[in-house]
Structure 1
Amino acid sequence: MATYPPRSCAPMPFKVIEEKEDHPPPRRLEDYDDFISTLPLGKGWRLPFRKYQGFWYLEGFLPGAMAIQQHFKARPDDLFLVSFPKSGTTWLKALTFAIMTRKQYTLARHPLLSLNPHDCVAHMDELFATCQASKLETLPSPRILATHMPYSWLPDSVAISSGCKIIYICRDPKDALISYWHFSQQSSSSEVKQNSLMEAFENFCEGRFPFGPIWDHVLECWRERLRRPEKVLFVKYEEMLEEPVANVKTLAEFVGCPFSEEEEKGQMVEEIIRLCSFENMKSLEVNKSGNHVHMVVPAPLPPLI
């Protein structure tokens, strides 16, 4: 098993910090609008998307991604969760947060029992796009931050910094497509025309898909993992389903919070897996309404729930 440097294991739930601070109300970042309006436009989904630096990105989040590229400064102990949408992002957030906070909270009174995983791990694209980047500065170290940005878009402070780390989760492209298509259909109003599944499939294969092409998105982090395994961990959704114990132990080792022999004997790994399981998360009151906003598209665009 690879050996990773030790890490402070005490991230705070993002929502707890957010509610303690007085921040200006969200607004749309307009500095990049003129430039974005010149980029190739993709349609057919509930929200428009633009092609920028080789990838198609939701128009409402592109200002945030561009602001991250220009202004974000990573801390040496930051942990970034990077993923193509519908590839296991929520599950990865829950598992990583539970692993890194297991010494701060008992699993019987864990924040994940009362907070959605998206409330525990901040989504960078959304915060920058709504001019709320200051919330990230308020968050104490170590921070867990999530993004759908491809690896090549990450600022130098993330890609080059020797301290911060990246976990990338991938999923079978077919399943990611089907999941995203159903997600888009369910969250759309009847007035908005959507791609048929066949149209979505054809566009997906051609790379014209929000956050795509998926193969470039995946390969960028895969190649970086091969080049710098101490910096990037590449995990597969299907393998995590098949062998959750081994994969959770790998996650813990990578983030610098390995399980002790005593914890393993006490089945701490299995308890964390049960806490973060789909069945358990679905049964919790905080996750039942379906109204939790993961990526709040900046006004005037409607929210992507």
Structure 2
Amino acid sequence: MKSQRHFQAQSSDIILSSAPKTGTTWLKALTFAIVTRRHFDGSTSPLLTTVPHECVPFLEVDAVEDSFHRSPKLPLLATHLPYTSLPNSIMSSHCKIVYICREPKDAFISLWHFICKLAPQEEEHVPLEEALDMFCKGISQYGPYWDHVLRYWKASLECPERVLFLKYEDLKSDTLHYIKTLANFMGCPFSLDEESEGVAQKIMNLCSFETLSNLKVNKTGMHRSTTPLATKNDVYFRKGNVGDWKNHLTDEMVQRVDQITEQKFSGTGLMFPQP
């Protein structure tokens, strides 16, 4: 793997890790706004004109290019790699890792919609039943979803000062609290003046689904427009809801996913709130 061979992490790096479609776009926006808040205000933030995926480079794609030059002012990098597949330099550099995950049924539904949107119009979409079967069997570029989540969960228990484990559902229910948690973890806590000025609240508003999804760049723009990976920005913004699986999955499907979740997470202390 190219990232394993060529990427050299620095101790100041902050790695944003996630399985696909579990809150990556939102986490990129929040962390970018937090670490750059002293360089931009709400009216000048690059997030207003640039999709979050271009604000925070992607380890497997951007950081392995010969032309990649990181900014010392922006320590953020994102990845979908499983914990055990992270480049050796990340493990040895003691840089920090922020991991976000999502309730498995919602993660699956979001991923299925994303894949359908990416498919050429002339191609038939993967049937929901077939996609769920593959998801449950762990047939994925990044391996079984439950294993991906569980390994980062265990790492966060073993090294809480180095790995911050977040759930999308918690972030949705108390966004302001977790913005402050992120700032503290990344080493850039809000000052008393910032607290009184409501800076965290402004970041929350800037990075909300409502704000980001309605920006022109995210409605009509293209990500990696000059490459074979060109993607419309609007595919990254669907609903942002919790519990949307209820609108798609049958009782039998729900039972199958929940059974795997129970088997995989039993005894680990990891649970997801049920909407």
What is the TM-score with the length of structure 1 in the denominator? Answer: 0.71
Tell me if 1:186 matches 2:121. no
Higher mean C-alpha displacement, 79-88 vs 179-188: 179-188
Tell me if 1:156 matches 2:88. yes
Identity of aligned residues (%): 46
* Residue of structure 1 aligned with 2:146, choices 188, 193, 215: 215
Partner letter of residue 164 of structure 2? L
Partner letter of residue 70 of structure 1? R
After superposition, where does 1:66-77 map in structure 2 within 5 Å?
A: 66-77=1-12
Q: Which runs of 5+ in 1 are unaligned?
A: 1-65
> Hey, what does 1:176 align to over in structure 2?
107
Tell me if 1:134 matches 2:67. yes
Superposed CA deviations along residues 130-155 of structure 1, whole A, max 9, x for unmatched, are: x62431x3533542111111111112
Provide the aligned C-alpha RMSD in A. Answer: 2.0
Mapped partners of 2:25, 2:207: distance in 1: 9
Q: Which has the higher contact order (CA 8 A, sep 6+)?
A: 1
After superposition, where does 1:293-304 map in structure 2 within 5 Å?
A: 293=224, 303=230
Q: Is residue 17–residue 79 contact of structure 2 (8 Å, CA) maintained in 1?
A: yes
Q: Is residue 23–residue 168 contact of structure 2 (8 Å, CA) maintained in 1?
A: yes
What is the TM-score with the length of structure 2 in the denominator? Answer: 0.79
Mapped partners of 2:166, 2:143: distance in 1: 19
Mapped partners of 2:221, 2:67: distance in 1: 28
Q: Is residue 96–residue 251 contact of structure 1 (8 Å, CA) maintained in 2?
A: yes
Q: Is residue 79–residue 143 contact of structure 1 (8 Å, CA) maintained in 2?
A: yes
Q: Is residue 82–residue 149 contact of structure 1 (8 Å, CA) maintained in 2?
A: yes
* Residue of structure 2 aligned with 1:100, choices 35, 39, 44: 35
Higher mean C-alpha displacement, 190-199 vs 103-112: 190-199
* Residue of structure 1 aligned with 2:194, choices 258, 263, 267: 263
Mapped partners of 1:242, 1:150: distance in 2: 26
Deviation at 1:175, TM superposition (A): 0.7
Structure with the higher fraction of residues in helix conformation: 2
> Hey, what does 2:136 align to over in structure 1?
205
After superposition, where does 1:1-305 map in structure 2 within 5 Å?
A: 66-127=1-62, 132-135=65-68, 137-162=69-94, 164-289=95-220, 291-293=222-224, 303=230, 305=232
Superposed CA deviations along residues 91-132 of structure 1, whole A, max 9, x for unmatched, are: 00000000011111122211111111112100121226xx62
Mapped partners of 1:272, 1:75: distance in 2: 27
Mapped partners of 1:111, 1:304: distance in 2: 19
Deviation at 1:236, TM superposition (A): 0.5
Mapped partners of 1:209, 1:72: distance in 2: 23
Mapped partners of 1:83, 1:230: distance in 2: 18
Q: Which runs of 5+ in 2 are unaligned?
A: 233-275
